[in-house]
């Protein structure tokens, strides 16, 4: 069974631009969560999607948004990029319900650099 | 609010030596507990999890962890460290609606 796939692996953008990251979950997984990882703040939860609906949201500004498609694939968008958005963005998938929701499997991440 | 503390930012051990990484949590009920490992530039790989039952949990790569409710701890152990274990280790605590990760402990393995 294929793991969680994130594309692209690396991105370089300039301030003010926008970016879209993609995540394909493990087959059969309906929940996709997004995290931002930086040396200073560690792993911070962005949001979680389940069955095309945002189910949970972390404490990030509205510039960060996401969506989930009917095949459970998810995209995350960041608009008006700031230097502080430079980070490793991790996607995690899970079955999405009950106890299994806590069992998350992570992708390799997308490294975003904002210049 | 639930939280996770990993008191050690960086630990160095010699290859073949034993390892213990500390994790303390704050949670109102019995938590679900996890240890993940992250190699440079990679995502997180699940090492082991505790949901309920036996408080000593076995994981992959020879790791184990012990849940101690009285100490609010979930320390990760390995009897003999290999050079390939050098990585960053994250403890996490959660329930189906909220997952929190510790700040991580970076493990260096000396030859």
Q: Which chain A positions have a beta carbon within 8 Å of B32's beta carbon?
A: 99, 102
Identify the pLDDT of residue A2.
78
Q: Which chain A positions have a beta carbon within 8 Å of B36's beta carbon?
A: 106
Cis peptide before A8 (omega within 30 of 0): yes
Identify the pLDDT of residue A1.
67
Summarize the confidence of residues B12-24 as an average pLDDT.
Answer: 97
Per-residue pLDDT tens digits of chain A, which is 115 residues long:
679 999 999 999 999 999 999 999 999 999 999 999 998 888 999 999 999 999 989 999 999 999 999 999 999 999 999 999 999 999 999 987 777 777 889 999 999 999 9
Which two structure tokens, joined as six digits, stand for B103? 């700040």
Phi and psi at residue B49, to the nearest 5°: -145, 155
Min distance A56 CA to chain B CA atoms (Å): 7
Identify the pLDDT of residue A103.
84
A99 and chain B in contact, CB less than 8 A: yes
Min distance B42 CA to chain A CA atoms (Å): 5
Of B77, B70, B64, B61, give the one whose Cα is nearest residue B22. Answer: B77
A4 and chain B in contact, CB less than 8 A: yes
Helices (runs of H) and strands (runs of E) counted in chain B: 0, 12
Task: Residue window 18-77, chain B: list those with CB within 8 Å of chain A.
Answer: 32, 34, 36, 41-46, 49, 51
Q: How far apart are CA B92 and CA A90, in angstroms?
A: 15
Question: Using one digit for the tens of pLDDT, what is the confidence trace for B35-89?
Answer: 999 998 788 999 999 988 899 999 999 999 999 999 999 999 999 999 999 999 9
A2 and chain B in contact, CB less than 8 A: no
Of B44, B95, B104, which is closest to A106 when you measure between CB atoms? B44
Q: How far apart are CA A30 and CA A101, in angstroms?
A: 9
Identify the pLDDT of residue B27.
84
Q: What angle do CA A58, A61, A64 make, to 5 degrees?
A: 80
Which two structure tokens, joined as six digits, stand for A103? 């069992």
Q: Are B79 and B18 in contact (CB under 8 A)?
A: yes
DSSP A29-42: --EEEEEEEETTTE
Q: How many residues does chain A have?
A: 115
Residue of B nearest to A111 (CA): B41
Average pLDDT over all residues of chain B: 92
Identify the pLDDT of residue B49.
92
Residue of A nearest to B33 (CA): A102
Q: A108, B42: Cβ pair inside 8 Å?
A: yes
Q: What angle do CA A96, B53, B65 make, to 5 degrees?
A: 85
Min distance B43 CA to chain A CA atoms (Å): 4
């Amino acid at each position: 069974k294929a793991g969680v796939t994130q594309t692209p692996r690396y991105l370089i953008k300039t301030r003010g631009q926008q970016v879209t990251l993609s995540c394909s979950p493990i087959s059969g997984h309906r929940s996709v969560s997004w995290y931002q990882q930086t040396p200073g703040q560690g792993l911070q939860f962005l949001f979680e999607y389940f069955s095309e609906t945002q189910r949970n949201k972390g404490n990030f500004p509205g510039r960060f948004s996401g969506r989930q498609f009917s095949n459970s694939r998810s995209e995350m968008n960041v608009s008006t990029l700031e230097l502080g958005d430079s980070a490793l963005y991790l996607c995690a998938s899970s079955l999405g319900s009950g106890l299994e929701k806590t069992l998350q499997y992570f992708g390799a991440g997308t490294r975003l650099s904002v210049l | 609010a639930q939280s996770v503390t990993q008191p050690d930012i960086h630990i160095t051990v010699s290859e073949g030596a034993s390892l213990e990484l500390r994790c303390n949590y704050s949670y109102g009920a019995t938590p679900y507990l996890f240890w993940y490992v992250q190699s440079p530039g990679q995502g997180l790989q699940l090492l082991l999890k505790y949901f309920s039952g036996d408080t000593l949990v076995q994981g992959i790569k020879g790791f184990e962890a012990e849940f101690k409710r009285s100490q609010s701890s979930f320390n990760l152990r390995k009897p003999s460290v290999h050079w390939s274990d050098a990585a960053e280790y994250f403890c996490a605590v959660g329930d189906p609606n909220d997952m929190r990760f510790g700040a991580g402990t970076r493990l260096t393995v000396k030859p």
